[in-house]
Structure 1
Amino acid sequence: MEGFPYLESKESIQSYLESVAGGEGVGLDDLRLATTLDNRDKLASFRAKFCLPTISDICEGEKLAADSSQDCVYLTGNSLGLQPKGTKDLIVADLDKWAKKGVYGHFHDPVAWLPIEDIVVDESARLVGAKPIEVVPMNGLTVNCHLAMVSFYQPTKDRFKIVLEKDSFPSDFYAVQSQVNWHGYDPKEAMIVMAPREGEHFWRTEDVVQLIEEQGDSVALVWLPGVHYLTGYVFDMEAITKAAHSKGCYVGFDLAHAAGNVELCLHDWGVDVAAWCTYKYLNSGPGGIAGFFVHEKHAHNQQLPRLLGWWSHNRKTRFDMSNVLDLQAGAAGFQLSNPPVLECLSLKASLDVFADTSMRELTIKSRILTGYLEMLIEHYLTKEKRENVAADSSKYMTIVTPSDPKRRGAQLSLQFSFPVKEVHHQLASRGVVTDLRKDGHMRVAPAPLYNSFKDVWTFFKTLELTLK
């Protein structure tokens, strides 16, 4: 199998796609191009490791415009990832152990419950570019955002502000706002909300760095997403971390849309703290256990403010019940309660799939996959193209995700010149699953673990039908 090259620019990706199409003697919108790309895909076999809903599964009771027995085209892994086929076996086996062993299941293999977090720590750390001591599964995402701020938002009279982005995800906004209120500050004064330049959809790294340089002396914490949920924009986490540290600020990231989606190097970048959910690109299931990162440089700092619970205590002496804290080192020392076993097992089922590849390999495919979608839309469905070929050129769309592959992950966000709900309904009736967000954004997320180039082609052709 030939595989895909590692490409870093829009131009090189489109040149590659045009070359493949030319070699096959087909047009860019020809199904045969998608088939050729799928045949070159080294990760194509991973699709079989996931449960793909059929069109009838997702459109029960709906009037359908497609063969209901076919697999749907699932392009919303940025909201909820598909179920790995290994999940059910792990869960059922553990339910059986619970039925047969009761409390003794805490100590019995194949997966003892007492140290359950160990089954996901190493692989989770690898996926976010961390050391095992820096990562722990615990709680839900927003809880972990709050715990991060308990420790790393330490306001003083002169340094009390938090930097976040305009149009932040509500959980981040509420968490920041409530932390500021909790410490007795006025959110209007303590929250620095960054907006993109007028007329632009996302932030320029130089503008973020300049803001930090200008206001950093009054900033306690920079708190940003790794990937912006609405536009799919990837923040330059390395440059932002460097700028924040140069001004004496702590820096943390909400990686909900980044973990399992883009290459991360949290340890090497020196990020202080991060949190992420696992039910999107990490496919752990709805409401799955979240992840938490604290850099190794803080691993043994017992003076760092934090909330404590029984699971913060060293596991070797935890059952001494002395009420004399023997704090665990690293991220594990930020745990409060024992993690839910079934959620850890569900996460493990997905991480077992990730273990057979790497974020670099996934990135290589993701860039070609998303670049293919971008090329099809730009060549056939933008305003300029529609004006040349369509009787009704008032129906068109605009991509509001960066064209630079390094500044996006497995997502394109689209805006439409006509009511987007109409488009969404027509796509769904044909078994194509996307999602809608603020201001009529449609988010389309071809996940490289299980989406194919034929999926992208089918989405494009189905979308094209809605413009007629």
Structure 2
Amino acid sequence: MAAPVDISRYSGLRAQAETLDGEDSLRHLRDEFHIPTKADVKRKTLAAGDRSNDAHVDETTPCTYLCGNSLGVQPKRTAARIQQYFATWATQGVQGHFKPLEDSPLPPWLDADDRAAKMMAPIVGAEETEVAVMQTLTVNLHLLMSAFYRPDPNGRHKIILESKAFPSDHYAVLSQIKHHGLSPETSMVTIESPFAEDPIISTYDIQALISKHAADTALILLPGIQYYTGQLLDIPTITAYARNHGIFIIWDLAHAVGNVPLSLHNWDVDAAAWCTYKYLNGGPGCIGGAFVHSRNSLITTTTTDNGSEQAYGNRLSGWWGNDKVTRFQMEPKFRPAKGAAGFQVSNPSVLDITSLCASLEVFELAGGMLPLRERSKRLTAFLEQCLSSMSEDAKKLFRTITPPDPEQRGAQLSLYLEDGLLDATMDGLAEHGVIIDERKPNVIRVAPAPLYNNFGDCVSFVEAFESALIAAQKAK
């Protein structure tokens, strides 16, 4: 049972939140999304009517959903776009690949990935041809490493990544090294945080390690935003430093895309990959994205006695990466499409792309990433203010491990709880209808997503958090 909290201490914050929400020029975006209600998150069935958990829960009161860093909520227009896709399939069958329908906003399926890349390019700061919407995050990392990790056991063979990287990144790096017949003990270098308690890594730390291993490093894989701490790395500075040392760098942007503005082309990033189900709200397990800088996808042609030969690097090739003009000629010779599209392998899920593009429409309504970033900074700063207003007894039970500098973080604040409090605190938050993310053994991650969260959500979270935290401490 959650502990009672003196709610009067939060009345000023609640009034402030109402004012801030009323003045917010992007507040209308919240109406574009389905926010689960408190009744929804306690229900054990899909349909309404299951009141077994709490007969007094208001069916219309939204829960406090601050988990967009794990899974974004559903845009309301997603269902409409999916139904339009279903209608095309039902009425056109295979013709849906090529036949535009006058009363549908959806492109023919053959062009669905092109449309998604066009909508995605402004979000990552890329030229349209540098973006491909394809596969999933870890698969895309493997495809990029297969193309650009070319180790020489007697020269450059190491891969640098952070020691606290998301496990899939570790698995991908380990398997790539082993695939080339090398040993992780000699070919994998991890960046360790110099801080025992809070694993923040400075740009200087990263540059120092690059310098130390520059002579024999072939590839660097780093996150744009570190999933555990919420730290935003200095992507342009680190990229430039790596490239000045002749090292190819790939960025995992899972927690950065749709969260912070990116300028991948202008920052001269070599390549990047991301998922679309977090801040991009594409849906669970939705299709991923990849960026390949235009200079890294150039196709060279050489003339030989037997005619011209095209060289397109070590990429793994597949049918959908073939030039669209010749794709359906079914020729055995691979002619890669221009840019990142030439790194595609299989034909993408149009169902996934349709869901993703529904959310990307909302990003266009918002006016792009810059206004969203400004709103995000205000929301996260207000969340900090609310946390600082908690009782002294409650504040002793946790600390924030995310950098306090707004330029070094995205929407997420990671809170490190005192030992033994996590499970009971999460139970108490759930009792209040608060949905957030946990990372065992001690961290909760709270992410006010700028597209749909508001200032009132920040107050609701902190009220529930103090109650749950104090109750967890008393129950120890």
Is the shorter-chain TM-score for this pair beyond 0.5, marking a shared fold? yes
The residue aligned with 1:48 is: 31
Percent identity over the alignment is 43
Q: Secondary structure at the match of 2:115?
A: helix
Say which of 166, 169, 185 aligns to 2:163: 166
Counterpart contact for 1:66–1:431, Cα < 8 Å: no
Distance 2:260 2:344 in 1: 26
The alpha carbon displacement at 1:27 in A equals 7.7
Distance 2:422 2:346 in 1: 43
Q: Does 1:296 align with 2:294?
A: yes
The alpha carbon displacement at 1:158 in A equals 1.3
Moved more, 103-112 or 85-94: 103-112
Q: Which amino acid aligns with 1:279?
A: Y
Seen in structure 2, the aligned counterparts of structure 1 residues 231 and 394 have a Cα distance that, compared at 3 Å, is: closer
Say which of 62, 69, 76 aligns to 2:67: 76
Q: Which amino acid aligns with 1:117?
A: D
The residue aligned with 2:451 is: 449
How big is each residue's C-alpha offset from its partner over 1:115-145, in whole Å with a ceiling of 9 and x where there is no partner?
2112211121100010001001000111001
Seen in structure 2, the aligned counterparts of structure 1 residues 180 and 52 have a Cα distance that, compared at 3 Å, is: same
Distance 1:50 1:192 in 2: 42
Q: Secondary structure at the match of 2:34?
A: coil
Q: Secondary structure at the match of 1:355?
A: helix
Distance 2:281 2:379 in 1: 19
Q: Secondary structure at the match of 2:110?
A: coil
Any stretches of 5+ residues in structure 2 without a counterpart? 1-8, 45-51, 300-310, 472-476
Moved more, 275-284 or 371-380: 371-380
Q: Does 1:108 align with 2:108?
A: no
Counterpart contact for 1:28–1:376, Cα < 8 Å: no
The residue aligned with 1:6 is: none
The alpha carbon displacement at 1:246 in A equals 1.0
The residue aligned with 2:17 is: 34
Moved more, 142-151 or 315-324: 315-324
Distance 1:174 1:27 in 2: 45
The alpha carbon displacement at 1:201 in A equals 2.1
Counterpart contact for 2:10–2:463, Cα < 8 Å: no
Distance 1:41 1:291 in 2: 31
Q: Secondary structure at the match of 1:193?
A: strand
The alpha carbon displacement at 1:28 in A equals 8.6
**1:268-307 residue pairs with structure 2 within 5 A?**
268-301=266-299, 302-307=311-316
Q: Does 1:397 align with 2:398?
A: yes
Q: Which amino acid aligns with 2:84?
A: A
Any stretches of 5+ residues in structure 1 without a counterpart? 1-25
Seen in structure 2, the aligned counterparts of structure 1 residues 65 and 149 have a Cα distance that, compared at 3 Å, is: farther
Question: Cα RMSD over matched residues?
Answer: 1.7
Q: Secondary structure at the match of 2:461?
A: helix
Number of residue-to-residue matches in the alignment: 434
The residue aligned with 2:369 is: 359
How big is each residue's C-alpha offset from its partner over 1:214-236, in whole Å with a ceiling of 9 and x where there is no partner?
21111100100111111101111
Distance 2:450 2:410 in 1: 10
Say which of 207, 223, 226 aligns to 1:225: 223
Distance 2:465 2:54 in 1: 15
How big is each residue's C-alpha offset from its partner over 1:2-40, in whole Å with a ceiling of 9 and x where there is no partner?
xxxxxxxxxxxxxxxxxxxxxxxx989521000011012
The residue aligned with 1:370 is: 380
Distance 1:177 1:64 in 2: 48
Seen in structure 2, the aligned counterparts of structure 1 residues 29 and 147 have a Cα distance that, compared at 3 Å, is: farther
The alpha carbon displacement at 1:330 in A equals 0.5
Counterpart contact for 1:209–1:239, Cα < 8 Å: no
How big is each residue's C-alpha offset from its partner over 1:166-204, in whole Å with a ceiling of 9 and x where there is no partner?
111111000000000001111011111111113342101
The residue aligned with 1:424 is: 426
Counterpart contact for 2:273–2:288, Cα < 8 Å: yes
Q: Does 1:58 align with 2:41?
A: yes
The alpha carbon displacement at 1:41 in A equals 1.0
Say which of 115, 120, 124 aligns to 2:120: 124
Counterpart contact for 1:73–1:459, Cα < 8 Å: yes
Counterpart contact for 2:13–2:386, Cα < 8 Å: no
How big is each residue's C-alpha offset from its partner over 1:254-310, in whole Å with a ceiling of 9 and x where there is no partner?
100000001111101111110000000000001100001000112313432110101
Q: Which amino acid aligns with 1:114?
A: L
Seen in structure 2, the aligned counterparts of structure 1 residues 27 and 74 have a Cα distance that, compared at 3 Å, is: closer
Q: Does 1:93 align with 2:84?
A: yes
Counterpart contact for 1:227–1:408, Cα < 8 Å: yes
Counterpart contact for 2:225–2:409, Cα < 8 Å: yes
Counterpart contact for 2:225–2:231, Cα < 8 Å: yes
Q: Secondary structure at the match of 1:30?
A: helix
How big is each residue's C-alpha offset from its partner over 1:335-379, in whole Å with a ceiling of 9 and x where there is no partner?
011111111100110000001222111110111101111122134
Q: Secondary structure at the match of 2:377?
A: helix
The residue aligned with 1:4 is: none
Say which of 219, 235, 242 aligns to 1:244: 242
Counterpart contact for 2:429–2:435, Cα < 8 Å: yes
Counterpart contact for 1:29–1:457, Cα < 8 Å: no
